[in-house]
């Protein structure tokens, strides 16, 4: 297998990857995967290190001084790089696990939570206004979670209907409820039990806040109607957020990132949501949905 084909096989799909991932993080993480491929390092181990770097990043940012903020930016970069590498290694070695899927999915949220807590301290320190600092950090953090959650949801739908990858949110809940029951019968596995419980709560939240979609439609039609829109969704994805955060941390303007996330990020989110719902409603109609 050529290097290019091997690289492509390490990705979920070019269509669903964020542009910044394809340009920067995925190529770099692929090089890392090639270096460690023959070792006994597992995807889950990489995920844990990624999470560790993400937590350290938030702590470092929280000190509020530029040298610590700069260190936090570097740690966020490394965390996201490793977050890309764990999935690529799992796909190439075909040794991914259910728990691994959960860990990989929550790396972004753990890193994000740590970063926004750090931003709360940093903005409060820089501006001298603790009320303002924590309000803007909370609203910015909530906005980012909402934006990322909807992007993940529509990306999973795209993978399902175009590439027959992934599964419906209801099937995910059934699958991991069964996994939860299996783990409860086994001794130990406290971390896995905790992660599965958190993931089930996340799935329930996603189900209750997104538009339930079930249709019988050809992959070509779904792809034609959603490919461009999904690319636009990706611009409020986790890597885009982290990359913008890194830039604003380097110029010592973390407050600007929060303002951008709240104002521009939510504006783009609402526009995309309106367009997406119209397209989805049309695709579920008799005109396209041959199940009707």
pLDDT of residue 175: 76
Q: What is the radius of gyration, based on Cα positions, of the chain?
A: 20
pLDDT in 10s for each residue of the chain, 292 residues: 678 888 888 888 888 999 999 999 999 999 999 999 999 998 888 988 998 999 999 999 999 999 999 999 999 999 999 999 988 998 888 766 666 667 766 777 788 889 999 999 999 999 999 999 999 999 999 999 999 989 988 998 898 889 887 666 777 777 778 777 777 777 766 767 777 787 787 777 766 766 666 677 888 999 999 999 999 999 999 999 999 999 999 999 999 999 999 999 999 999 999 999 999 888 887 666 655 5
User: What DSSP designation does 15 have?
Assistant: G
> What pLDDT is attached to residue 138?
97
> What confidence score (pLDDT) does residue 291 get?
53
8-state DSSP, 31: H
Inter-residue contact 239 to 18 (CB < 8 Å): yes
Q: Are 162 and 223 in contact (CB under 8 A)?
A: yes
CATH fold group of domain 3-168+214-283: 1.20.120
């Amino acid at each position: 297998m050529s290097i290019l084909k091997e690289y492509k096989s390490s990705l979920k799909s070019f269509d669903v990857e964020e542009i910044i991932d394809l340009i920067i993080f995925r190529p770099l993480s692929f090089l890392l995967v090639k270096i460690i491929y023959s070792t006994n390092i597992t995807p889950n181990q990489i995920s844990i290190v990624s999470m560790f770097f993400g937590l350290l990043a938030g702590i470092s940012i929280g000190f509020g001084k530029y040298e610590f903020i700069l260190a936090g930016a570097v740690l966020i970069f490394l965390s996201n790089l490793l977050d890309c590498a764990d999935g690529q290694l799992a796909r190439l070695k075909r040794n991914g696990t259910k728990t691994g899927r959960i860990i990989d999915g929550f790396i972004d949220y753990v890193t994000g939570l740590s970063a926004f807590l750090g931003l709360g301290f940093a903005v409060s320190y820089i501006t001298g206004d603790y009320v303002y600092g924590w309000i803007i950090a909370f609203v910015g953090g909530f906005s980012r979670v909402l934006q990322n959650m909807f992007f993940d949801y529509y990306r999973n739908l795209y993978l399902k209907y175009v590439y027959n990858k992934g599964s419906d949110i209801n099937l995910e809940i059934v699958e991991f409820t069964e996994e939860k029951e299996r783990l409860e019968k086994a001794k130990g596995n406290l971390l896995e039990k905790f992660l599965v419980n958190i993931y089930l709560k996340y799935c329930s939240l996603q189900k209750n806040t997104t538009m339930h979609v079930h249709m019988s439609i050809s992959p070509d039609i779904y792809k034609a109607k959603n490919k461009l829109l999904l690319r636009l969704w990706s611009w409020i994805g986790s890597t885009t957020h982290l990359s913008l955060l890194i830039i604003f941390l380097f110029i010592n303007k973390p407050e600007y990132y929060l303002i951008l996330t709240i104002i521009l990020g939510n504006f783009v989110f609402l526009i995309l949501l309106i367009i997406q719902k119209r397209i989805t409603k049309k695709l579920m109609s008799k005109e396209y949905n041959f199940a009707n």
